[in-house]
Amino acid sequence: MNYTQIRFAKVPDFEQAYRLLPSFAHDQSLGESVKQVFIDVSLRPFRLRPRYSILSRDVDDAAPAMARETHEVIRNLARGLELGEESTRKMVAALTWWEGWMERGADKITDAERGLLYDAAYTIAALTLSLCPCIETVYIGELNPGLLEEYLLKSNYGLIPRPALQRVTKVEYHPGDWGTAGESTYDTIEFMDLFRYFHRLPRVESIEVAGAAEYQPVRNLFPPATSPGIRRIDFAHVDVSSDTMAAMIRIPVALEELSVSYGGCMYPDCGSPSIDLALIAKALRQHKTTLRVLDLDLGPAIISISSNDPDEGINGLDRHRDAYFRIDEEASSGPLLARDLPDGDGEHPEAAAVGGEGGLKALRDLAALKRLSISFRAFTDDPLDRRSSLGSRFTPLQSVQLVDALPPGLEYLCLYGYVKGKHAAMDEMANDLVREIGLGPAGRLPRLAEVKGIDETVPPAFDIAEPDDDEAWKRPSLHLGWC
C-alpha cells in the first residue's frame, strides 16, 4: 500500500513503520508517496503508567515473523544515518532490543526497558523520515529529548550527509490524543523548538500554532534573521510573552505575513495574557520592506509597558548557547534582544505619540504593508487597560490622528473592537480616519480601498481571559492517522 500520511504517536505506529522499513528501503516510490507526517512521540502513557494496561500493545498474531537478515537491514539503515558514534550505538542497541521484543510477542515492558523502548521508537521514526523525501507538511506535538530530536536538529542545521524533510513547506503544531491540557486550557509548549527543528529547512515557508501557551519556557531567546525560508507565521488563540513573541518574529530573514490572536483558552495558572506593543513594533520593523499582511487581534490581552532593565531577557544566555544556537549566532545580524533595537520614531515624529507609552506607536515604517487587521485599542493611550477591545476605559490621544500611525501603501484596514458612539475620543479618531479616506488619492492613504470595523463592529475572536468550557476555543478535529 502507498501511504500519503503517516503517524508516530502510539506503539502500533512504530510497529507498523518498523515492518515497512525494508519495503521503503527496497522500493523508493513507497516512501516518495508520503506527503504528511504527524509526530507526537513523548510516549506519554508509558511515562504516566509504566505497569498498567495502557502499556499494552496489540500483538498481531497474523503478522509474519521477520527474518533475522531483515532486522539487520534495518540496523544498517540506522548506521547509515551517521548521527555519530554514540548515537549510532544507542540506535543499534535499541533496535536489537526491539527485535527481541517483537519475537517474544510481549505485551508489556519493565521499568528497565522503558529507555530502550523510547530509543527504539525514536530510531524507527527517524529511519522512516529518512526514507520519505517528499514530505511537505509536518504536524508536530510533544517531542522529548532523544534520538529523534537529535536527528531533526542535525537535519535542520545540515550537519549530516542525508538530512530529512528537505521538501517541507509547512509546520503546524497539533497535540496528540492525550494532549497537555483540558479542552478549555492552553496546551503548554516550547515555542522555540518549532523553529529549532525546522527553521533552516530549504523549503519551509510557514509555522502555525493554535491553542497553545508558554509556561516557564526552557528557551525564549533565538538569534534573529536566521531563517531564509519562513515567510508566514500564524499564531491563533495563544498566550506568549512579548519577549518570546518578538524573538520569533525576528527569526525569519524576510517575513511577509504575520497573524497573532490572543485568548480563547485558560492559562494553566488562570493568569491573563499581556503584550508589550512597543516591543512588538520594534520586532516588526525588521521586516519593514517585506511584511505585506499583519493581523494582530489582542482579544483579552493586557497592554503592558516595556521594562527599562537593560539586563532583562539576557538571564540564562549560557543555557541557550548550545552548538545549534552558536551556529545561528554566527549567521545572525542585529542585536539578540528586540528591546535593544531603536524605536524608529525619529523617521515619523508626527506619529511618535500614537499608542502612548505602551502602544504600537507608528506602523508607518512598514512600507510594504498592504493589509492590516488590528485591535483598535492598540492605538489607545491606556497601557494597563485590561478590559477587552470593547472596554470602557480610554484615554484620548492629544493632537494625534490614527492616520499618522498607518503606512501610506495600505490597501485594506480592519479595526477589531471599535463600537461607534461608545467613546467620544474613539469616535474622533475614527472620524478623522473616515475624512482622510474621503480624500482619496490626495490624502495620506491614497491606496486604501476597503475599511472594516468603523460603521460596523468587528469583534475580536475571543474577548474573555478565562473562558468556561462552553466558551473556549475548540481545536478542529483532524484525521492524522495512517492513510
Q: Give the tens place of pLDDT for each residue, 66-107.
A: 888 999 999 999 999 999 999 999 999 999 999 998 888 766
- Kindly state whether residues 210 and 124 are assigned to the same domain: no
- Kindly state whether residues 99 and 184 are assigned to the same domain: no
Supply 339's cell numbers. 528591546
Q: What is the pLDDT of residue 58?
A: 47
- Kindly state whether residues 406 and 278 are assigned to the same domain: yes
Where is the domain boundary, 135, 157, 192? Answer: 135
CA 139 to chain CA centroid, Å, is 11
d(CA 112, CA 70): 26
Place of cell 531483515: 70
- Kindly state whether residues 12 and 124 are assigned to the same domain: yes
Domain presence at residue 161: no
Q: What is the pLDDT of residue 314?
A: 62
- Kindly state whether residues 92 and 11 are assigned to the same domain: yes
Domain presence at residue 59: no
Q: What is the pLDDT of residue 307?
A: 56
d(CA 302, CA 227): 30
Is residue 439's pLDDT more than 90?
Answer: no
Domain presence at residue 391: yes
- Kindly state whether residues 373 and 436 are assigned to the same domain: yes
Q: What is the pLDDT of residue 361?
A: 58
Q: Mean pLDDT across the stretch 279-283?
A: 92
Cβ(344)–Cβ(280) under 8 Å?
no
Q: What is the pLDDT of residue 343?
A: 75
Total domains present in the chain: 2
**Phi (first) and psi of residue 259, to 5 degrees:** -130, 125
Domain presence at residue 146: no
Domain presence at residue 259: yes
Percent of the chain with pLDDT over 90: 55
Domain presence at residue 333: yes
Range with top average pLDDT, 178-192, 390-404, 436-450 = 436-450
Cβ(231)–Cβ(256) under 8 Å?
yes
Expressed as residue numbers, the domain containing 240 is 180-306+319-476
Domain presence at residue 175: no
3-class DSSP state of 259: strand
- Kindly state whether residues 190 and 116 are assigned to the same domain: no
Average predicted confidence (pLDDT) for the chain = 85
Where is the domain boundary, 78, 101, 135? Answer: 135
Is residue 121's pLDDT more than 50?
Answer: yes
Supply 479's cell numbers. 484525521
- In the beta sheet, which residues pair with residue 208? 172, 234
Q: Mean pLDDT across the stretch 107-127?
A: 89
Answering whether pTM is above 0.75, one says: yes
Residue with the larger pLDDT of the pair 359 and 480: 480
Using 50, 70 and 90 to split pLDDT, how confident is the model at 316? Answer: low
Q: Mean pLDDT across the stretch 275-292?
A: 94
Domain presence at residue 58: no
- Kindly state whether residues 351 and 215 are assigned to the same domain: yes
- Kindly state whether residues 197 and 111 are assigned to the same domain: no
- Kindly state whether residues 88 and 202 are assigned to the same domain: no
Q: Which of 34-43, 214-223, 291-300, 457-466 shows the lowest per-residue confidence on average (mean pLDDT)?
A: 457-466
Write down the H helix ranges in 135-294: 147-156, 191-198, 242-250, 277-284
pLDDT tens digits, 141-176? 989 899 999 999 999 999 999 999 999 999 999 987
Q: What is the pLDDT of residue 373?
A: 97
- Kindly state whether residues 124 and 267 are assigned to the same domain: no
- Kindly state whether residues 270 and 402 are assigned to the same domain: yes
DSSP secondary-structure letter at 161?
S
Distances (CA, A) of 425 to 395, 406, 430: 8, 18, 9
